[in-house]
């Protein structure tokens, strides 16, 4: 059975749409773009992760949505979204796909890079992001994670933010937890070999790890983190200023693919094996995230506010100015 929660999340996106449009119309630094114009570039490269969050990117390629906008898109699979930042700054990658908001908001706040959020990537649902452990670890509940070693794809990112927030809400100390960086694809083997006590896994690795005998001990999207936005599509502000029509063409295609992916999970199943190492049989059992059709400032602000309370930002961060809203 394919586990999706589209009905529960759709009202959230719809309710926030007006807020997002209003935020984009007020004080945006993005140039107005003629929607009847073709893109300045016809070929672009997108850095992507081999996880379910980037499925709409591959759906857009398969369905010809980029071609409809005058674009040919080449993908470059990366182990972590931040690995593609140097390539983006050098120009060998134009856009980074579905990178976690925490890392990119930090990069902007610290002056590392000036980015625009072109489109939303995914929103976390109940089974998309879990801390998992093997039965032999004797980790059977959230409380058992205190003082343990947990693998994450990056430190100080959406994984550590949600784990800490959920555990603290349950009154469990996080001070003794050690986070170890291991790529998503290598986490199941590290867990099975006992090199870490637990892993923070995303799909398709949640399902793959369950097949190896692991179990979820902490769903990371609950309470204050329920339905939290996970990641989006980014370009540098300089790139957007130079190629605003290309940015718009990409945005229109990916937003169309987001809608298609929500409406047709079987199509997402079909594309997953084309860019991940999972089989069609495993893909059919994966819990899919919700793919927001638009960027909603109020929802993304939840991430920045949680980062501030969790110590990942030193001062308040307003996300609205970095959202790409052509025309205003």
- The 10s digit of each residue's pLDDT in 223-235 is 989 999 999 999 9
Mean pLDDT over all residues of the chain?
A: 86
Q: 162, 195, 225 — which closes off a domain?
A: 225
Together in a domain, 220 and 295: no
Strand order in the sheet with 215-219: 178-181, 149-152, 198-202, 129-133, 215-219
List beta partners, residue 77. Answer: 48
Residue 33: per-residue pLDDT: 59
Same domain membership, residue 11 and residue 119: yes
User: Looking at the domain assignment, is residue 1 inside a domain?
Assistant: no
How is residue 85 written in tokens?
A: 């930042």
Nearest one of 274, 307, 271 to 291, comparing CA atoms:
271
Q: Are residues 121 and 254 in the same domain?
A: yes
50, 277 in Cβ contact below 8 A? yes
Within a domain: residue 240?
Answer: yes
Both 236 and 208 in one domain: the answer is no
**Structural domain includes residue 27:** yes
CA atoms within 13 A on the CB side of 328: 8
Same domain, 45 and 159: no
CATH number, position 302? 3.40.190.10
* Pair 232, 219 in one domain: no
Burial grade of 179 (CB within 10 A; 0-12, 13-18, 19 or more): buried
Does one domain contain both 30 and 141?
no
How large is the average pLDDT for residues 160-176?
94
Residue 167 lies in a domain: yes
Residue 327 lies in a domain: no
Model pLDDT, residue 22: 32
Which residue, among 321, 116, 80, has the nearest Cα to 232 in the 3D structure?
116
Total domains in the chain come to: 2
Say what the pLDDT of residue 181 is.
95
| Mean pLDDT along residues 203-231 | 89
Q: Are residues 117 and 134 in the same domain?
A: no
Give the structural domain span for 32: 6-125+228-322
Residues 68 and 141 in one domain: no
- Which of 225, 242, 262 represents a domain boundary (last residue)? 225
- Do 154 and 200 belong together in one domain? yes
Q: pLDDT higher for 112 or 11? A: 112
Q: Do 153 and 285 fall within a single domain?
A: no
CA contacts within 13 A on the Cβ side of 173: 5
Residue 17 has pLDDT above 80, yes or no: no
Residues 10 and 119 in one domain: yes
pLDDT of residue 258: 97
Residue 10 resides in a domain: yes
**DSSP output for 26-74:** SS--SPP--TTSPPS-SEEEEEE-SSGGGHHHHHHHHHTHHHHTT-EEE
Domain final residue pick, 210, 225, 240: 225
């Amino acid at each position: 059975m394919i586990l999706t929660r589209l009905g529960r999340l759709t009202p959230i996106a719809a309710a926030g749409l007006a807020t997002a449009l209003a935020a984009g119309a007020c004080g945006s630094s993005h140039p107005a773009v003629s929607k009847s114009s073709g893109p300045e570039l016809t070929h672009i490269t997108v850095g992507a992760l081999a996880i379910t969050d980037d499925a709409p990117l591959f759906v857009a390629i398969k369905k010809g949505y980029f071609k409809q906008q005058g674009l040919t898109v080449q993908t470059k699979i990366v182990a972590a979204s931040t690995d593609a930042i140097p390539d983006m700054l050098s120009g060998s990658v134009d856009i980074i796909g579905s990178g976690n908001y925490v890392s990119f908001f930090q990069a902007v706040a610290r002056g590392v890079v000036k980015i625009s959020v072109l489109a939303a990537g995914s929103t976390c649902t109940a089974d998309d992001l879990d801390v998992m452990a093997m039965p032999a670890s004797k980790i059977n509940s959230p409380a058992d994670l205190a003082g343990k070693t947990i693998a994450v794809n990056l430190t100080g990112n959406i994984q550590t933010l949600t784990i800490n927030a959920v555990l603290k809400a349950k009154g469990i100390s996080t001070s003794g937890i050690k986070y170890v960086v291991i790529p998503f694809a290598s986490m199941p083997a590290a867990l099975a070999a006992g090199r870490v006590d637990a892993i923070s896994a995303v799909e398709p690795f949640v399902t793959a790890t369950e097949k190896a005998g692991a179990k979820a001990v902490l769903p990371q999207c609950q309470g204050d983190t329920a339905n939290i936005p996970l990641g989006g599509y980014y370009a540098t502000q300089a790139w957007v200023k130079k190629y605003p029509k290309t940015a718009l063409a990409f945005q229109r295609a990916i937003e169309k693919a987001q809608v298609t992916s929500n409406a047709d999970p079987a199509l997402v199943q079909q594309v997953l094996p084309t860019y991940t190492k999972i089989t069609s049989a495993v893909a059919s059992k994966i819990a899919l995230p919700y793919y927001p059709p638009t960027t909603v400032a109020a929802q993304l602000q939840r991430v920045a506010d949680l980062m501030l309370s969790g110590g990942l930002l030193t001062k308040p961060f307003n996300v609205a100015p970095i959202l790409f809203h052509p025309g205003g």
